[in-house]
Structure 1
Amino acid sequence: MTTLHSPTATAAVPAAAVPARPGTRALLACVAVASPLWAAVSLIQAATREGFDLTRHPLSALSNGSLGWLQIANFLVAGVLLTVGATGLRRALHGTAGGTWAPRLVRIAGLGMIAAGLFVMDPADGFPVGTPYGPPATLTWHSYAHFAAGSVTFTSLIAACYVLGRHFHRAGDRGYTIASRAAGTALLLGNGWAMSGGEAGTLTLAVGAVGALLLVAAVAARHRRGH
């Protein structure tokens, strides 16, 4: 099986396919940095903030409490980087299968993350410390807006992963084809399990979201190296 970093995989999308336009490498760097940054800041908080349990609380809940500003900023920064950086991805994939829709979907996901940062979900289930256990009795409008933004982000990421899977399948790159489809499927199943109220659904959602975001980052980093 072709590995993600094999010579065959590198040759599947030649550097000449990337338009030599000023700023393309910087734009691709935005996408490559956004996902690892968001994942690292989120998971470090998940491991260190008092009362937070990833098997019960979604990463979005970190936007609440005295340190909530950190996760809000995390959403906003990552969202802006993805939204802006999608232009570099469009240039890199120009003229290839999925070259139109993959960047569009990444940009939509970035806008969704910005909205998720602006609209904070309600405290629930014991977090932050002092919050009653269980779901809130009623949801505020900004909590509904946050859930809508999350749905847009997850749907766009799932679709982007499958579009990238098609892109790499056409290019003959088996490693990235499998990785792209696996990332999209992990988020699809993780989100579905969380929405159904399944045990540790917030954990499966986090795994799927981080996996899909890192896949997009890996694709951007790869094209940046080849530019």
Structure 2
Amino acid sequence: MTIAATRTPVAIPTRALLVCGAVSGPLYFLTSFTQAALRDGFDMTKHPASMLSNGDAGWIQVTNFLVSGVLLIAGAIGLSRTLEPGRGSVWGPRLLGVFGVSLLFAAVFKADAGNGFPIDSGPVGTGSATLSTAGALHMAAGSVGFLSLIVATFVFASRFSREGHRGWAVYSRATGIAFFASFAGISSGNANAVVMLAFWATVLLAWGWVTAVIVRFTR
């Protein structure tokens, strides 16, 4: 009689998970900026990165959302293993994980085309005639994800303050405040060129903060 060998699942090393999280932000923005520069009709003063999911080359941004989301979720799991018990050790990683999950939803439910992009979506200066179900779900996922990321900056700021890392605490709070202000601006419906560029800048700032925090704990 033969006895079947019992296979033990191989755990992914924590450092590998953290590295995944650290590269999620740079990958997301490298892909987004490249598309923004090359795709006809796209204008960073008029369009958010999520609109890159539309058109013949939209699959690139969809894949970008999926890959970045999976990598960030992996990084959040790595952080949950790394952080010593204390303030923010539970909810900090969880909130980053929620942001990662929101990117997966953003990939499945595309933002509506409009405002001149893709070039056959209508004249510049006009948005979509109606908000589609997919567009509404995309906006909802984005709102949940962005708010989770904003709260995460303050959760980690509290941890850094308690540990005596004042510079990191200030950096975290400043990132959260700036990102919240730009998110509120673009959510107001008055997305002029200044508001749109500020939103791009603070999303980049927030992703940079995620990368910096993960790299800090990786070391």
* TM-score between the two structures when normalised by the length of structure 1: 0.86
Give the aligned residue type for 1:122: D
**CA deviation vs aligned residue, 1:198-217 (integer Å, no higher than 9, x gap):** 42222222222221121111
How far residue 142 of structure 1 moved from its aligned partner, in angstroms, is 0.5
2:30 equivalent to 1:62? no
- 1:66 CA displacement: 1.3
Matches within 5 A, 1:31-70: 31-70=21-60
Identity %: 43
Out of 88-97 and 59-68, give the one that drifted further. Answer: 88-97
Unpaired stretches in structure 2, ≥5 consecutive residues? 1-10
Q: CA offset at residue 94 of structure 1? A: 2.8
1:159 offset after TM fit, Å? 0.5
**Contact 1:79/1:112 (CA < 8 Å) preserved in 2?**
yes
Bigger radius of gyration: 2
- Aligned partner (choices 11, 14, 20) of residue 30 of structure 1: 20
The match for 2:111 is 121
For residues 57 and 71 of structure 1, what CA distance do their matches in structure 2 show?
14
Task: State whether residues 31 and 220 of structure 1, in contact with CA within 8 Å, keep that contact through their aligned partners in structure 2.
Answer: yes
1:29-82 deviation line (CA, Å, top 9, x unaligned): 111011111011111211221111111101100001111100000000010111
- The structure 1 residue matched to 2:202, chosen from 198, 205, 208, is 208
One-letter amino acid of the structure 2 residue matched with residue 221 of structure 1: V
RMSD (CA atoms): 1.4
How many residue pairs get aligned? The number is 205
Query: For structure 1, which runs of at least 5 residues remain unmatched after alignment?
Result: 1-20
Give distance in 2, aligned partners of 1:198 and 1:71.
21
Corresponding position of 1:160:
152
Highest RCO, 1 vs 2 (Cα 8 Å, sep ≥ 6): 1
TM-score by length of 2: 0.89
* 1:199 maps to 2:192: yes
